[in-house]
Structure 1
Amino acid sequence: MDMPGNKRSGLLLPNFEDFHTRDIEQARLWGQRVFCDNEIISLQRKDEINAQMYYRKIGGLGVGFMSYGGEITINPSQFDGFYLIQIPLCGSECIVRGSEVTYTSSSVGSVLNAGQQIQLVHGENTEKLILRIERDLLERQAAQYLGHRGPKQVEFDTAMPLDTAVGQRWARTVSWLIDYLGGEDIPNSPLIDAQIEQMMVSLLLASQHSNLSEGRIGDERMVAPAFVRRAEAFIEENAHKPIAVSDIAEHVGVSTSSLYTGFRKYRNSSPMIFLKEVRLQRVREQLLSCNAGQVTVTSVAHQWGFAHLGHFATDYKRRFGESPSETLAR
């Protein structure tokens, strides 16, 4: 993903606080200051950590760029007071939330919810944009959209697709905000700050599926009908089987034409693309859970229906930021 201002070796952003250290404890303390108490465990030699962050607050938002250089595991305390949106520019992360495992890359970002316990495995040479949103700001604006006070806690899906039109628009907006705040002569205006807060939170609520997506949030056309959600659940449960579009349509009780239309309109995708993404995820989970001497990439790929290994390897690397063989060698 080509982001304005991304220089890979680090962003030079005047008006942003910044730090750069090879000391894990210093990186932990900075993370504690910006986010919450945390534990950082190096998966490599300690001197291979190369942590850097550029960060700035504006009202109830915090935005910036960060990287740890080496491969590390981060165990934060519970995110009680904020939501954290992460947009990888390169590399990948593994996010564990209970039994749910999400892998991010340049095509898949993440939303870490307030009030949830997670673990992050930050891949080597991973760089990402971050947006921190205060919990009370987000929930207050969600209540305004829903037309009543005191909504239940907002819980977003962890995975945020960035290779869709909606995802790309979101990523560009975060990139624009970083460029704007990094410029010279930024006006000190509470009115502008409030407008930026409202824009970013509104866009998140309208773009990312959550437990409030059935409410009147943003463009109601983006709320997928029940048959699309049932189709996704059917695909998840039967991805190991040789299912066809006709099987999915029959299960949810619509025509194949309606099924394609629903996925195109509400997911900017198709049922078979969704099936391929689920199967790629299952391949990765299996490669990560096995030793290189136990299985081969070819056998696992064939098991999940990928007959053309060249296309499979290309899709896998685009999805996860590394080759299947690199995953198996972990």
Structure 2
Amino acid sequence: MEPTPGPVDWEEVEEVVSNAYFEHELTPLDDVAPSLRLRTLPLGPIRLARIGWGAAVSIRSEHPGAYAVNIPLSGRIAAGNGVISEVGQAAVFRPDIAAPEQKWTNDCEIVGIKLERDYLQREMSRILARPDLQLPDRVDLTTQAGQSWMTLLRSVVEQLKADESLWRNPLVAEQLSGALTTSFILAVMPEDADPTGGARPRIIKRVLDRLHEDPASAWTTAEMAEVAGVSVRRLQEGFREYLGVCPRDYLLDLRLERIHEELAVGDATELSVTDVALKWGITHTGRFAAAYKRKYGVAPSVTLRG
């Protein structure tokens, strides 16, 4: 994530966070100097932010042009006398609508996600096949689906410090934004929001044809569902029913085959395993190496050396 130098006064704090996350009006509720903690990561149509003010504050914002999902890691955020969100609960704010005044406790720190309005609405339409649905104002993250999504989100946030250059690779950013957005939508929307029928073999074949034509593309499950003309849930059910695997696992296996073919005839003095893996759409080299060894019984470097 991009670290931000500590501002020296509250006006500067407001300006820094407005530029990094959302424009807002900030009012400190404690008579203390600012102690801002802010790190951000742009991922194409979404942006992650980790924010802590170091004091009790009041925030007003209309969240121009984008949805906001604010998830407290500590403390709580309240509107009036009612709690909006605390640990285990997320608050969702719609774009271009004045939100109620938010009062943050002095120990509150959040992970926030900024999702461009048109992008999120398009993804909801593709994933759920329902363009008319609205996100709830609050999300319970203690459910099984909510916990799974939080595990994914935390893994991204925690690992960002280790190798920023990898996360800034456009291919990686596209995969991460798609995974975070798709899993968020599936976690927060009710099961009955998905009215479309099951994916038939003909529809599955349509997706398989596209994957075999271009396995290196940064495919998301939502994009595969769009090709099939069904929702993500129905596509996943169809793959499991007719192929015995989920779409992502099928795509990984296809990429492994292409990588294996190239490594088997490649020259170790001219090729690297990492370059070949990236060429075929692999972005997590550690998981790739483990999957390759499970499939072929040797490390990819052994195949390359012949």
How does the TM-score come out when normalised to structure 2? Answer: 0.57
Distance 1:137 1:181, change over 3 A: farther
Q: How do 1:109-188 residues align onto structure 2 when only pairs under 5 Å count?
A: 109-118=90-99, 119-147=101-129, 151-152=131-132, 155-184=134-163, 185-186=165-166, 188=168
Considering only aligned residues, what root-mean-square deviation do their CA atoms show, in Å? 2.7
Seq. identity, %: 16
Residue of structure 2 in register with 1:258 after alignment: none
The alpha carbon displacement at 1:68 in A equals 0.9
Cα distance in 1 for residues equivalent to 2:84 and 2:73? 14
Cα distance in 2 for residues equivalent to 1:17 and 1:44? 24
Distance 1:126 1:165, change over 3 A: same
Cα distance in 1 for residues equivalent to 2:78 and 2:107? 14
Residue of structure 1 in register with 2:171 after alignment: 191
Query: Any conservation in 2 of the 1:17–1:56 contact (CA below 8 Å)?
Result: no
Q: Which amino acid aligns with 2:140?
A: P
Which is greater in Rg? Answer: 2
Secondary structure at the aligned position of 2:193 is classed as coil
Query: Any conservation in 1 of the 2:194–2:233 contact (CA below 8 Å)?
Result: no
Query: Any conservation in 1 of the 2:50–2:112 contact (CA below 8 Å)?
Result: yes
Decide which of 5, 15, 26 is 1:29's aligned counterpart: 15
The alpha carbon displacement at 1:164 in A equals 2.1
Secondary structure at the aligned position of 1:186 is classed as helix
Residue of structure 2 in register with 1:89 after alignment: 73
Cα distance in 2 for residues equivalent to 1:111 and 1:162? 12
Query: Any conservation in 2 of the 1:72–1:121 contact (CA below 8 Å)?
Result: yes
Q: Which amino acid aligns with 1:138?
A: L
5+ unaligned residues in a row in structure 1: which ranges?
1-14, 221-330
Q: How do 1:1-330 residues align onto structure 2 when only pairs under 5 Å count?
A: 15-45=1-31, 47-76=32-61, 78-95=62-79, 101-118=82-99, 119-147=101-129, 151-152=131-132, 155-184=134-163, 185-186=165-166, 188-209=168-189, 213=193, 218-219=232-233
Distance 1:215 1:93, change over 3 A: farther
The number of residue pairs the alignment matches comes to 198
Q: Which ranges of 4 or more aligned residues in structure 1 deviate by more than 6 Å?
A: none
Residue of structure 2 in register with 1:262 after alignment: none
